[in-house]
Structure 1
Amino acid sequence: MKKTIKNVSILSLLFVFTFFSCTEDLNITPNDDDTLLGEDLFENEGAYRQVIAGVYANLALTGTDGAGSSNIEGIDAGTSQFGRVLLYMQTLSADQMIWSYENDPGTREIQRNIWTAQNPLILGMYSRAHLTIALANNFLRETTADKLDSRGASESVRQDIVAYRAEARLLRALSYYYMMDLFGKANFGTEADAVNTVLPVADRAQLFDFIESELIAIEADLIPAGANEYGRADRGVAYMILAKIYLNAEVYIGENRYTDCMNYCQELLNSGYTLATNYKDNFIADNNTNSAVNEIIFSIVSDGSTTQNYGPTTVMINGSVGSLEVNGVEVGVVQNGWDGALRVRKEFAELWQGGNFGDDDRNTIISANRPIGITDIADRDTGYIIQKYSNVTSTGQAGVDQTFVDTDFPLFRLADVNLMYAEAHLRGGGGSLDVAVQLINDLRTRANNPNLISSTDLTLPFIIDERARELHWEAHRRQDLIRFGLFTGGSYNWAWKGNGSNGIAIPNHFNLYPIPNSSMSSNPNLTQNPGY
């Protein structure tokens, strides 16, 4: 059993969710209207820890009644689990992944880049992110000094609340970060706004300023990087989000902030994180206790018994069981898994061809008896598959459940910092060329790839390909391609881009997702993104 914040009764509280989810201020309607927003909950001082656990739980779970339940009215659990819809929007929409079952709501449009404002996965992402914001705001409203005074809170609670409030603000900033990246705008509310208020809308520049100022403001109140209990956010997570927004600042606000990105990469490199001994340790059932625990900066926790959900690792591990290979037992799920649900696009498979990638630990492609291309998405016997994620521990023991996995999803890990440092350096952010080269070679050495690079090899085209090899299926690819100017337009096409089997150009407005129609109708201040 994993010893994380989720074990603080995430399921018994789990929806302190519904206690706190009267969130019309964020265009979300809870399924459970019977719970009370009152003082009784806080008569037990342990409730403060439970309530902050509930904010974290929204990243992993969708409801209180099992994996298929949803605590957001009108939105299905399968289209609103945070990590899963993030994976779809950042990875399925790009050049690495194909989902075989296009009758699953929303997937066909996402992977063919033909989505509209009616897409249920887009609505799921929009709603789930705003629910985290609402939960964080309510936690902050209930933990002010005046509230604590009125309840006669103990000194112990008052000391804990400082870090809890900082974590709530960080989780809110994280959600606004994804809203800024995916949608370019968000309904903007803080704890200062009354519940059920019709909120203003913040654009990208306003969200950028808020995220930046919030994360800097809470730094001193957060637990030092790497020192918090597993599954909780600390300064390392704040540094990571800051590095990310600065790396992408030219996309978000039209400004070069690569020096700032470099500074936070350096902070992270100096914070005590270390690469996992083995690359695959980051993606297996005990990645919360094996050597990956020192590399993973923040993850979405998963437990096959206590937090069953159809999240990204459950999807990817079951989905990676091939229709021909029937390799479920090998990856710790039922033998047939989901029978070829996931495969890789040709362009990603080709990144491993040539050079010395055959024995690279990051190369988990299975190609035998399969053509590299996918001319019919429904034909699960075509296209290569991969086994990056597994529900088996480092000692070979399967997870506790053979459908719902124990494998946590690494939102942020140190390897990305190595790659961001190198890219920020190449883009004029400072730092050292020798250090940048060494950081890339550290990743290759860890992966048992003998093909180390020299300073002349370190170019931006090299970086975008190396990011794919190191970080594939970790919900970064769309963002990376946009930053490199490769997502829209026709300078780089991949299989099924734009609904063409060999890929066609897509218009530039697809760099942002549309605002869901139902969200538009809920807030008159929202306007649709151009082109939709």
Structure 2
Amino acid sequence: MKMNYIKKLALIIPTLILVSCHDDLDQTPIDPDSFTENDVFANADEARGALAKLYASLALTGQEGPAGQPDISGIDEGTSQYSRMLFSLNELTTDNAVVGWGDPGLPNLHAMSWGAGNDFTTAMYYRLAQEVSFCNSFISNASSLEDPAIESFIAEARFLRAFAYYNLIDFYGNVPLVTQISTELPAQNSREEIFSFIETELTEIQDILMESGANEYGRVDRVAAWALLSKLYLNAEVWIGEDHYTDAITYANQVINSSYRINTVDANGNGSAYDELFLADNDSNGAQDEFIFALNFDGNSSRTYGGTTFLVHAAIGGDMDASKFGVNGGWSGLRTTKALVNKFDYAVTASDEDGNPTEWADKRAMFFTEGQNLEINTIANTFTDGYAVTKFKNIDSEGNAGSDAGGDFVDTDLPVIRMAEIYLTYAEAVTRGGSGGNIQQAVGYINELRERAFGNADGNISSSDLNIDFVLDERARELYWEGQRRTDLIRYNDFTTGSYLWPFKGGSKSGTSVSDYRVLFPLPSNIILINPNLTQNTGY
């Protein structure tokens, strides 16, 4: 069984930390909790265990796992896991994914018809608010310790809090900025204020965090701060109306020049393929060298119905053989639309009798086509409408299944930020006019990704091929189902407008535009009722 920082501590977290009781989702973002008992912060070793909870709060869902004593309630516990909700909000709302299940509020995501009481938009807000609360509590209590190691622990907590706020301003816009545990109802801060807070936090902690590659696998170092800054600056024009593309290039360069690298060689020194990034041994097969920030899972010691367990099981149905994915069965839910499949049209090597593609030279096109229809006529309960996605698997590089003998839970770690994204951030910022980079270097980075995907130079591009729209399509090909797509489409003004349509966008089979206010999700209706300091987002 593979082990790392989060996985080793997952089973003992309940003895170290008692999380807050959420009777329902009717909570405020400050949510005082009880994991700050004095004995938890008696020394640096105990504080390290408390720090694990901050990471685990993004990967797991409660104190028993996979279900029982949830951190938040009012929604199915497995559904409430951070990366599963990230998929729901940032992938299901786009051309990358549909789901056939009819859970209340779920069909509204792809149809772009959610309201202020939507279970998924509400639960994500509280998951992120809880993470802020946990981080605030840790920072406050750990600050009383004098051990030299504590300073870097606190910096990690500040990174995780900044990461939570990065998500909050992306999804909700103007939210309360809370940096201390309090019982007072918080005021609402502007997106500009939240942006400035994230920027300041990350720049302040960058030299306090451990050096590149010096921390335990599963914990962040200073490269994660640079990477998140580059992502923040890439979205600055949308979020605060300011051009920060030069800053995005500056920090992307720092990441690229760090010890992290694109995974082109496996653990045995052989050539590595794209699919190894998403296998059960991706903490040791070479993929880990590309992962700047990842959520870590283990089929035995950190069980959840979210995370990669969700991404593997939910994507299996129809004629697919679940054993080839290292699990005991499929949930017949997730597929993709032809809009994503068509991004690989330039690399088609085989088609069926109807002319629909079935094989591609670009091996990032990881689709199951047998018995599947490229066109989606019905989303609900029709798994065979839409190609299935085979990107995530619970098998290792040698073809062995994951550690859970029952085949229920998955070992595969989930990259949240990886070097390939930073390559593409650099390329986009350059094509948008940022200084400090150049087109030739951007082309070189993209060709490095495409050579991995093709296994040779057949897919390489030249500088004349590189433009802003190409980068968006390349992000789709490289990063699909990794929680990026909605944010990308908003940055390109393609999310709500009629300039880019996909099947069932806006609830129409052929796709239609929707109101511009959909670029933000609503603040939870419950929190608006209990906190008069908050103003609901326009349109809700």
Cross-structure match for 2:237? 250
TM-superposition CA deviations, 1:25-45 (whole Å, max 9, x none): 526487xxxx67532333465
TM-superposition CA deviations, 1:468-500 (whole Å, max 9, x none): 000000000000000011001211111111111
TM-superposition CA deviations, 1:452-474 (whole Å, max 9, x none): 10111001111111110000000
Whether the aligned pair in 1 keeps the contact of 2:335 and 2:386 (CA below 8 Å) is yes
Give the alignment partner of residue 374 of structure 1, picking from 370, 376, 387: 376
Whether the aligned pair in 2 keeps the contact of 1:247 and 1:257 (CA below 8 Å) is yes
Whether the aligned pair in 2 keeps the contact of 1:55 and 1:135 (CA below 8 Å) is yes
TM-superposition CA deviations, 1:102-151 (whole Å, max 9, x none): x223210111111011111111110000111000000111022xx33xxx
Q: Distance in 2 between matches of 1:230 and 1:405?
A: 18
Name the aligned partner's letter for residue 181 of structure 1. D
Residue 345 of structure 2 aligns to a residue in which SS? coil
Q: Distance in 2 between matches of 1:124 and 1:41?
A: 28
Q: Distance in 1 between matches of 2:393 and 2:116?
A: 34
Cross-structure match for 1:239? 226
Cross-structure match for 1:411? 416
1:18 aligns with 2:18: yes
Q: Following superposition of structure 1 onto structure 2, how do residues 197-208 of structure 1 map, counting pairs within 5 Å?
A: 197-208=184-195
TM-superposition CA deviations, 1:479-526 (whole Å, max 9, x none): 000001100121111111111111111110000001111121232211
Shift of residue 322, structure 1, vs aligned partner:
2.6
TM-score if structure 2 supplies the norm length? Answer: 0.91
Q: Distance in 2 between matches of 1:356 and 1:441?
A: 18
CA 1:98–1:281: 2 relative to 1, 3 Å: same
Residue 59 of structure 1 aligns to a residue in which SS? helix
Whether the aligned pair in 2 keeps the contact of 1:468 and 1:477 (CA below 8 Å) is yes
1:77 aligns with 2:77: yes
The runs of 5 or more residues in structure 1 that have no matched partner are none
Name the aligned partner's letter for residue 397 of structure 1. N
Whether the aligned pair in 2 keeps the contact of 1:117 and 1:516 (CA below 8 Å) is yes
Cross-structure match for 1:100? 100
Q: Distance in 2 between matches of 1:15 and 1:256?
A: 47
Whether the aligned pair in 2 keeps the contact of 1:81 and 1:124 (CA below 8 Å) is no
Whether the aligned pair in 2 keeps the contact of 1:20 and 1:37 (CA below 8 Å) is no
CA 1:470–1:88: 2 relative to 1, 3 Å: same
Cross-structure match for 2:113? 114
Name the aligned partner's letter for residue 388 of structure 1. K
TM-superposition CA deviations, 1:343-387 (whole Å, max 9, x none): 111111111223457122211112233321111112212211120
Residue 354 of structure 1 aligns to a residue in which SS? helix
Residue 63 of structure 1 aligns to a residue in which SS? coil
Give the alignment partner of residue 290 of structure 2, picking from 295, 304, 310: 295
Shift of residue 337, structure 1, vs aligned partner:
1.5
Give the alignment partner of residue 308 of structure 1, picking from 281, 303, 308: 303
TM-superposition CA deviations, 1:172-222 (whole Å, max 9, x none): 00000000101002222113xx43221122221011000000000111110
Percent identity of paired positions between Structure 1 and Structure 2: 38
Question: Alignment length, in residue pairs?
Answer: 512
1:432 aligns with 2:424: no
Whether the aligned pair in 2 keeps the contact of 1:3 and 1:230 (CA below 8 Å) is no
1:328 aligns with 2:322: yes
TM-superposition CA deviations, 1:54-103 (whole Å, max 9, x none): 111101111112212312243431332111101110111100111111x2
TM-superposition CA deviations, 1:387-446 (whole Å, max 9, x none): 001000112110012121001111000001111111111101121111111101000001
Cross-structure match for 1:452? 460
Whether the aligned pair in 1 keeps the contact of 2:256 and 2:422 (CA below 8 Å) is yes
RMSD over aligned CA atoms reads: 1.9
Residue 410 of structure 1 aligns to a residue in which SS? strand
Q: Distance in 2 between matches of 1:304 and 1:3?
A: 11
Shift of residue 19, structure 1, vs aligned partner:
4.3
Cross-structure match for 2:398? 395
Q: Distance in 1 between matches of 2:428 and 2:27?
A: 41
Q: Following superposition of structure 1 onto structure 2, how do residues 122-521 of structure 1 map, counting pairs within 5 Å?
A: 122-144=121-143, 147-148=144-145, 158-191=147-180, 194-277=181-264, 278-325=273-320, 327-334=321-328, 336-338=329-331, 340-355=332-347, 358-377=360-379, 378-401=381-404, 402-430=407-435, 431-448=437-454, 450-521=458-529
Whether the aligned pair in 2 keeps the contact of 1:419 and 1:467 (CA below 8 Å) is yes
Q: Distance in 2 between matches of 1:172 and 1:332?
A: 34
Q: Distance in 1 between matches of 2:30 and 2:506?
A: 31
Residue 186 of structure 1 aligns to a residue in which SS? coil
Whether the aligned pair in 2 keeps the contact of 1:433 and 1:455 (CA below 8 Å) is yes
Shift of residue 529, structure 1, vs aligned partner:
0.2
Q: Distance in 2 between matches of 1:15 and 1:259?
A: 47
